[in-house]
Amino acid sequence: MTNNNDIRNNTKPYAIDPAYLDFPDMTFSTNLLKLKLTNLFILATRLRYKWSKSLKVQTHKIDSTDGHKLKVIEISKKGLADNAPALVYFHGGAFFLTYAGLHLDNAQMYAEQADCKVFMVDYRLSTKAPFPAALDDSQAALEWVHDHASQLAIDKNKIVVIGDSAGGGLAASCAQLTHDKNKNRSEKINLLAQFLLYPVCDCETKTDSATAFEDTPLWTTNNNKVMWDVYLRGSDFKKGNEHIPAYASPIHRDDLTGLAPAYVEPTEFDPLRDEAIDYANALQAAGVEVTLVEAKGAVHGYEFVDCDTTTKYRKIRMDALNKVLGNT
């Protein structure tokens, strides 16, 4: 096992880009009070966030399940033409952390560089309500965007779901759920694509990367297990039953045929790496068009650091997104 000192001193057996070695050590537990306190800190840092003056930002409150009112933040360039493409964006944070400045930066980047409207979903965190609350909110937001396309001045045939980390898992699950719900919808939601960025895909956490990367920067084997313990608490799966709730863990779906084309971006030194690659391979085997781009030398949440590696893989992603949206 590699320890943190080995990683910091660059004597570890894997070649992480040195730019990521100053990531803070983050160790989470299933203590809900501690997680809620962490969220208060993130919220405090987010209050200082300043949007680009070139953007128009507004907040919508929509209905989700159980009477819950859901916040959706709409971000677009001022003067963007009507009938624009739409990105429904699900932020990362292990299902239990609120969105941070990085996620707002991502939303801003997509809006500015892909000439689209971004709808960022403030889904319920697992500290408040375990699965399926976050998925219910995410799906409600996606359906709301589609069903209100004319009012929102977007093209309902150019909707992409996109998410990083836990948000990538929600994007994948929404793609699956949308495919199934289309059977009973009067007007089908035809997703243009799903962009899954270092996504959460497998609740069993048994892959080689999920077990090996115990001390990698930012995200570790332990944190990965804590995430699922909190998200699926109370479920049969966490009570020792082999049953995994439908749509909770994307890779456990039996039939992947007919899903939207996927761009999958795992990071090399990340407990989630192998499950993302496995999911991409499973999609491809089912006949789904897949673009798989592994961010070499990068770690989970690598976008927190501005460096050449970050710039390289963000450009690859944006080029792929603009191609999907028909901007190139």
Contact predicate 277/292, CB 8 Å: yes
Contact predicate 112/143, CB 8 Å: no
Q: Which two tokens stand for residue 21?
A: 């070695």
- Rounded distance between C-alpha atoms, residue 255 and residue 267, angstroms: 26
Q: Is 270 annotated as catalytic?
A: yes
Q: Please calculate the CA angle 306-308-311 and round it to the nearest 5 degrees.
A: 70
Catalytic residue, candidates 137, 155, 202, 270: 270
Structural element, H or E, at residue 82: none
Catalytic residue, candidates 165, 173, 209, 235: 165
Q: Is 165 annotated as catalytic?
A: yes
- Continuous H helices in the chain: 4-8, 32-46, 101-113, 133-147, 149-152, 166-181, 208-212, 221-231, 273-285, 308-325
- Give the residues across from 159 on adjacent strands: 86
- Collapsing DSSP to helix, strand or coil, 188 comes out as coil
Which residue numbers are catalytic? 165, 270, 300
